[in-house]
């Protein structure tokens, strides 16, 4: 390639500069007091320095903009902007100049030039300027291919190309976790919690402008990243919403199936689409980046053949005092079941009523509400366990332990003392 280069001097010169945002010039304040040897000299020098803030010269961060000093890093989701300048270095007029800028990625080739029409002529010392923008949507090697064709004064058609290679890096590491809030009363609504861990794997601080979950059609989403106090919400991440390099932040979302799907929620099985995360961040002077994850998928929790959920349960009960709970039993299987309910006492939980009672037939998708009475003999947080459902057709027993917790208190303690 070097040999090629030496072969001919072109009349035109092509220069490319990546336009990242400019930076603010910082100065280095060194001061002394009037009484010191230099007197006011240092102060005077700082006041005369155009890059200092007048009236507050010791403030490091100035207002002077400086152009980007290197190519820097470019990350997926950011916009690649570049200045392309074709300059006529010769002393003759050049005609029919066509500048073409393509971006070659591993999968495609994009044309980025603003115009594809040729410039009729270019006088000496003049240039053709173009600023290209492209939102980077692929990771890995990108090559900016700039091709210039032109006709010389003598009618000779010439052509040259230049390649500028750069790597697009991954800015964020996203990990998700699903929590099925099923074991407690919320099972009524089949809430799903999504925890998204977002890590800044770039080398600069990143302001997270937006991290939102766009739910799929089956769900409504509530963002749990704000604490509402009064009429103003406060972010759980504190006043400053930026991520230092390698910092990770957890975002939490609560998803509720829409009512029309909620009815069937117990029956939905397999993989469900929850939605996708939409992330917008900004860095130096508003350099923007945006990413969306693909659809997040969740394996709906298997409910087995029969799902037992609680519709009603008190949170606090008195010691040795019976209380009522209502269970909901849903047949999630494809067949009709004939169920028998057994209630086994545990160390602390005592069931009232008859164990081994027939619940009757339950068709697929059908459910029944079952009021039950329990009492606890032990104080504290007690787990309700010991329900057994037996399908008499298949002679299969389903065990339900730790269905819910209640807080058992002694009603007398407060009176005594």
Instruction: Give 209-254 as a DSSP string.
Output: EEEEEEE-TTEEEEE-SEEEETTEEEETT-S--EE-TT-EEEEEEE
- Residue numbers 304-343 binding another protein by CB under 8 A: 304-309
CA 16, 20, 22, 27 torsion-angle sign: negative
Of positions 119, 143, 185, 359, contacts another protein by CB under 8 A: 143
377 near another protein, rule: CB under 8 A: no
Regarding 244 and contact with another protein (CB under 8 A), the answer is: yes
Question: Which residues, listed in sequence order, are joined to residue 391 by a DSSP beta bridge?
Answer: 339, 396
With CB under 8 A as the contact rule, the residue among 252, 268, 400, 409 that binds another protein is: 400
Binding region for another protein (CB under 8 A) out of 93-101, 160-168, 323-331, 339-347: 160-168
Considering only residues 73 through 112, tell me which ones interact with another protein, judged by CB under 8 A.
73, 76-77, 82-83, 85, 87, 89, 104, 106, 109
In 3-state terms, what secondary structure has residue 161? strand
Q: Which is nearer to another protein, 34 or 416 (CB)?
A: 34
Query: Does 13 sit near another protein (CB under 8 A)?
Result: yes
Q: Please identify, using beta-carbon distances, which residue of 156 and 260 lies nearer to another protein.
A: 156
Stretch that binds another protein, among 63-71, 254-262, 352-360, 365-373 (CB under 8 A): 63-71
- Determine the interface stretch with another protein among 60-68, 254-262, 312-320, 370-378 (rule: CB under 8 A): 60-68
Interface with another protein includes 134 (CB under 8 A)? Answer: no
- Residue of 111, 173, 410, 413 interacting with another protein (CB under 8 A): 173
Least Cβ distance, residue 158 to another protein (angstroms): 9
Number of residues that bind another protein (CB under 8 A): 152
Indicate the residue among 60 and 352 with the shorter CB distance to another protein.
Answer: 60
Identify which range of 167-175, 223-231, 246-254, 368-376 contacts another protein by CB under 8 A: 167-175
Q: How far is CA 347 from the centre of its chain?
A: 46
Least Å from the CB of residue 323 to another protein: 20
Q: Residue 315: which residues within 8 A CB-CB, separation 6 or more?
A: 406, 407
Among 222, 235, 248, 397, binds another protein (CB under 8 A): 397
| C-alpha span between 170 and 125 (Å, rounded) | 41
CB of 39 to another protein, least distance (A): 5
Residue with tokens 């039993």: 329
**Closer Cβ to another protein, 26 or 413, answer by number:** 26
Nearer to another protein, 119 or 169 (CB): 169
In the complex with another protein, the residue whose CB is nearer, 183 or 413, is 183
Question: For 317, phi and psi rounded to 5 degrees?
Answer: -130, 160
Q: State which of positions 18-57 bind another protein (CB under 8 A).
A: 18-19, 21-22, 24-25, 28-39, 41-42, 44-45, 48-51, 53-56
Residue 75: enclosing H or E segment and its boundaries? strand 74-75
Looking at the DSSP assignment, which residues form a beta bridge with residue 85?
15, 129
Of the pair 196, 375, the CB lying nearest another protein is at 196
Contacts of 120-124 with C-beta under 8 Å, sequence gap 24+, read: 120/95, 120/96, 121/93, 121/94, 121/95, 121/96, 121/97, 122/12, 122/86, 122/88, 122/93, 122/94, 122/95, 122/97, 122/150, 123/88, 123/93, 124/88, 124/89, 124/90, 124/91, 124/92, 124/93
Which residues, numbered 281-300, are part of the site for another protein (CB under 8 A)?
A: 281-288, 290-299
The alpha carbon dihedral of 316, 318, 319, 324 has a sign of negative
The end-to-end CA distance of the chain, in Å, is 95
By CB under 8 A, residue 119 contacts another protein? no
- Of 91, 111, 167, 373, the residue at the interface with another protein (CB under 8 A) is 167
Distance CA 325, CA 371 (A): 6
Cβ atoms 62, 53 nearer than 8 A: yes
176-215 residues in contact with another protein (CB under 8 A) are: 176-180, 182-183, 195, 201, 203, 205-207, 209
Q: Which is nearer to another protein, 172 or 319 (CB)?
A: 172
Planar angle of CA 362, 364, 368, nearest 5 degrees: 40
């Amino acid at each position: 390639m070097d040999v090629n280069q030496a072969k001919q001097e072109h009349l035109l010169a092509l220069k490319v500069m990546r336009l990242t945002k400019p930076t603010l010039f910082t100065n280095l304040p060194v001061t002394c007091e009037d009484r010191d040897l230099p007197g006011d000299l240092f102060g005077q020098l700082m006041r005369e320095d155009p890059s200092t803030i007048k009236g507050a010269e010791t403030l490091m961060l100035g207002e002077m903009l400086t152009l980007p000093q290197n190519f820097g890093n470019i990350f997926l989701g950011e916009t690649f902007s570049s200045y392309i300048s074709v300059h006529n270095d010769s002393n003759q007029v050049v005609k029919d100049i066509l500048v073409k800028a393509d971006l070659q990625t591993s999968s495609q080739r994009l044309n980025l030039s603003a115009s594809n029409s040729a410039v009729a002529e270019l006088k000496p010392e003049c240039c053709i300027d173009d600023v290209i923008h492209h939102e980077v949507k692929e990771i890995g090697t990108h090559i900016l291919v700039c091709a210039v064709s032109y006709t010389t004064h003598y009618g000779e058609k010439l052509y040259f190309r230049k390649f500028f290679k750069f790597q697009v890096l991954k800015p964020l590491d996203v990990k998700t976790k699903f929590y099925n809030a099923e074991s407690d009363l919320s099972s009524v609504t089949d809430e799903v919690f999504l925890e998204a861990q977002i890590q800044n794997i770039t080398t600069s601080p990143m302001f997270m402008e937006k991290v939102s979950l766009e739910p799929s059609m089956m769900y409504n989403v509530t963002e749990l990243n704000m604490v509402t106090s009064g009429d103003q919400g406060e972010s759980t991440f504190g006043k400053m919403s930026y991520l230092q390099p390698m910092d990770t932040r957890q975002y939490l979302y609560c998803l509720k199936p829409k009512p029309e799907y909620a009815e069937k929620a117990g029956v939905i099985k397999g993989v469900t689409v929850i939605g996708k995360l939409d992330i917008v961040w900004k860095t130096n002077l508003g350099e923007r980046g945006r990413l969306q994850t693909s659809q997040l998928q969740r394996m709906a929790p298997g409910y087995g053949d029969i799902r037992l959920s609680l519709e009603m349960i008190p949170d606090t009960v008195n010691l040795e005092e019976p209380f009522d709970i209502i269970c909901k039993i849903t047949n999630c299987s494809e067949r009709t079941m004939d169920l028998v309910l057994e209630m086994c006492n545990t160390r602390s939980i005592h069931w009232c009523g008859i164990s081994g009672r027939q619940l009757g037939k339950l068709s697929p998708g059908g459910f029944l509400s079952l009021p039950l009475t329990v009492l606890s003999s032990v104080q504290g947080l007690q787990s309700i366990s010991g329900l057994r459902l037996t399908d008499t057709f298949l002679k299969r027993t389903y065990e339900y332990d730790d269905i819910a917790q209640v807080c058992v208190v002694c009603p007398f303690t407060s009176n005594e003392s």
